[in-house]
């Protein structure tokens, strides 16, 4: 440190002597007044002698930073501030360790087993109609319904009133047996088509010995009306009702949702491959299909009743058997059967069918018998009041009103697949 100071002082004296010598030489050339002015300026501004004259702003030399051979900035040699860690409070307990995953061990000799539960649900469409006017009864609640499967009461898990567009197949008998039967069929089909709505899907088929598709599913009822008008000359005298109904059911099984078959026929089957027992089994196994039947030839049957001796009695027995078969088809699927005699009955009949189809109560339950054994389960629906007694209706004059409960009489359980 003293060596540096001595070197600085020697330089200062040498610079001062040089400047005094320069001033003396100038003094010989300039006037005396100017000389004194220059001396005064130098006395006022001593900084002209250099910063080292006062011994200020002397900085301590710092060691040079070494530059890496590969270039780039050198290392930091200054002071580094390290933040102080926060001390955890002593009264807070340490977090609990995570629970260990449970280990499941199968019994000896038993491999991995997977369990799948398939809980079936049954949906029952129920229509409640007044017996006299065939009007739908609204305003019923879930507590008013009792559903029995094979005599065992079931617990309802779903309930709602359904009023929606319909999907229906108009299945008409068109055979060369009698003009009166054809006339009744066309009047009935026309009355049904007149009450269709723009969002309804309807197809039309006819049958004699074979079946013919007249119109595929459409929302344009004009096509149905044109199809009815196109029926002029039938082909055969045979009326294979069972085969035609089987084909109609098969076609509707491919359509999703609730479907209906409007069967307009005399009901007499003459040459079908299927027997009544087989077609009844197929009808009962059908899913989401309701059959409504309308008989034809009622007027002819009344006019020819008690005529023809033994042959007439046999013919009458055939028609009575046909009526029972039509009732069985409709009753097994929750539909209705009608046996009109006059043309003027047709509009009211199809108005009732229209209201019954569009307005229903949908009941859903899980059967207490969860076996999937493919057996046929019988159903029964009852209406009760708040006290569990049979529900009764009265008109404005306090007279009791009878009503009909329209529901299918059973269903076929699913068959478990091995």
CATH of the domain at 127: 2.60.40
**Alpha carbons 297 and 180: distance in angstroms, whole number:** 6
Q: Residue 21: what pLDDT? A: 63
* Token reading at 343: 């043309």
Q: What is the mean pLDDT of the chain?
A: 80
E-only strand ranges, 220-266: 259-265
In a domain, 378, yes or no: yes
In a domain, 7, yes or no: no
More confident residue, 218 or 351: 218
Q: Residue 300: what pLDDT? A: 84
Q: Is residue 159's pLDDT more than 90?
A: yes
320, 371: one domain:
no
Q: What percent of the chain has pLDDT over 70?
A: 71
Q: Hunting for tokens 């001796």 — which residue is that?
A: 309
Q: Is residue 265's pLDDT more than 80?
A: yes
281, 369: one domain:
no
Q: Is residue 186's pLDDT more than 50?
A: yes
Residue 398 binned pLDDT confidence (cut-offs 50, 70, 90): confident
Q: Residue 130: what pLDDT? A: 85
Secondary structure element (H or E) that encloses residue 39, with its range: helix 32-44
More confident residue, 270 or 55: 270
Q: Residue 68: what pLDDT? A: 52
Q: Is residue 328's pLDDT more than 90?
A: yes
In a domain, 24, yes or no: no
More confident residue, 313 or 377: 377
Residue 49 binned pLDDT confidence (cut-offs 50, 70, 90): very low
Q: Among 358, 386, 401, which residue terminates a domain?
A: 358
Q: Among 358, 373, 393, which residue terminates a domain?
A: 358
Segments forming the whole domain that contains residue 372: 119-162+361-418
231, 367: one domain:
no
In a domain, 301, yes or no: yes
Residue 77 binned pLDDT confidence (cut-offs 50, 70, 90): low
Burial (CB count within 10 angstroms: exposed 0-12, middle 13-18, buried 19+), residue 88: exposed
Could you give the C-alpha distances from 49 to 23, 46, 145, 174, in angstroms and in order? 14, 6, 119, 135
Q: What percent of the chain has pLDDT over 90?
A: 41
**Alpha carbons 32 and 38: distance in angstroms, whole number:** 10
In a domain, 62, yes or no: no
333, 351: one domain:
yes
In a domain, 292, yes or no: yes
Q: Is residue 1's pLDDT more than 60?
A: no
290, 384: one domain:
no
Query: Mean pLDDT over residues 330-349, rounded?
Result: 90
Q: Is residue 325's pLDDT more than 80?
A: yes
365, 351: one domain:
no
Q: Residue 97: what pLDDT? A: 76
In a domain, 83, yes or no: no
220, 354: one domain:
yes
Contact status, residue 283 vs residue 245, Cβ threshold 8 Å: yes
Which ranges in 232-345 belong to alpha helices (H)?
241-252, 276-285, 298-303, 309-333
Residue 80 binned pLDDT confidence (cut-offs 50, 70, 90): low
In a domain, 52, yes or no: no
State the SS3 of 85-115: CCCCCCCCCCCCCCCCCCCCCCCCCCCCCCC
Contact status, residue 146 vs residue 390, Cβ threshold 8 Å: no
Q: Is residue 172's pLDDT more than 70?
A: yes
**Alpha carbons 203 and 217: distance in angstroms, whole number:** 4
Tally of domains in the chain:
2
Residue 223 binned pLDDT confidence (cut-offs 50, 70, 90): very high
Q: What is the CATH number of the domain that holds 300?
A: 3.40.50.410
281, 326: one domain:
yes
254, 395: one domain:
no
Q: Residue 304: what pLDDT? A: 76
**Alpha carbons 85 and 97: distance in angstroms, whole number:** 24
Name the residue among 120, 124, 410 with its Cα closest to residue 281. Answer: 410
More confident residue, 43 or 160: 160
**Lowest mean pLDDT across 91-105, 186-200, 219-233, 369-383:** 91-105
Q: At what angle do helices 309-333 and 276-285 cross, to 10 degrees?
A: 20
352, 269: one domain:
yes
129, 222: one domain:
no
300, 403: one domain:
no
Q: Residue 385: phi, psi to the nearest 5? A: -95, -170
């Amino acid at each position: 440190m003293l060596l540096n100071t001595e070197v600085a002082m020697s330089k200062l004296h040498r610079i001062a002597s040089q400047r005094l010598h320069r001033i003396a030489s100038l003094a010989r050339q300039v006037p005396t007044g100017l000389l004194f002015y220059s001396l005064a300026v130098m006395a006022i501004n001593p900084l002209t002698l250099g910063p080292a004259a006062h011994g200020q702003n002397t900085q301590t030399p710092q060691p040079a930073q070494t530059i890496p051979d590969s270039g780039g900035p050198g290392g930091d040699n200054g002071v580094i501030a390290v933040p102080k860690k926060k001390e955890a409070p002593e009264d807070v307990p340490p977090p609990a360790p995570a629970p260990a995953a449970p280990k499941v061990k199968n019994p000896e000799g038993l491999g991995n087993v997977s369990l799948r539960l398939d809980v079936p649900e049954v949906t029952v469409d129920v229509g409640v109609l007044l017996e006299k006017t065939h009007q739908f009864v609204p305003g019923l609640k879930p507590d008013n319904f009792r559903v029995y499967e094979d005599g065992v009461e079931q617990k309802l898990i779903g309930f709602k009133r359904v009023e929606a567009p319909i999907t229906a197949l108009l299945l008409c008998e068109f055979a060369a047996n009698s003009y009166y039967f054809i006339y009744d069929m066309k009047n009935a089909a026309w009355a049904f088509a007149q009450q269709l709505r723009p969002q309804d899907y309807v197809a039309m088929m006819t049958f004699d010995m074979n079946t013919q598709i007249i119109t595929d599913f459409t929302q344009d009822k004009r096509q149905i009306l044109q199809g009815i008008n196109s029926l002029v000359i039938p082909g055969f005298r045979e009326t294979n009702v069972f085969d035609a109904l089987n084909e109609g059911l098969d076609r509707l099984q491919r359509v999703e949702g609730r479907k209906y078959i409007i069967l307009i026929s005399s009901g007499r089957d003459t040459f079908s491959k299927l027997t009544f027992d087989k077609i009844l089994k197929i009808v009962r196994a059908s899913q989401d299909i309701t059959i409504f039947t309308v008989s034809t030839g009622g007027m002819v049957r009344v006019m020819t009743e008690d005529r023809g001796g033994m042959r007439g009695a046999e013919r009458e027995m055939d028609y009575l058997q046909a009526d029972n078969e039509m009732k069985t088809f409709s009753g097994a699927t929750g539909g209705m059967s009608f046996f009109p005699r006059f043309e003027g009955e047709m509009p009211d009949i199809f108005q009732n069918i229209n209201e019954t189809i569009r307005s229903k109560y949908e009941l859903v339950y899980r059967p207490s018998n969860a076996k999937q054994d493919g057996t046929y389960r019988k159903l029964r629906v009852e209406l009760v009041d708040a006290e569990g007694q049979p529900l009764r209706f009265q008109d404005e004059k306090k007279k009791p009103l009878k009503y009909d409960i329209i529901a299918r009489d059973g269903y076929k359980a699913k068959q478990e697949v091995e």
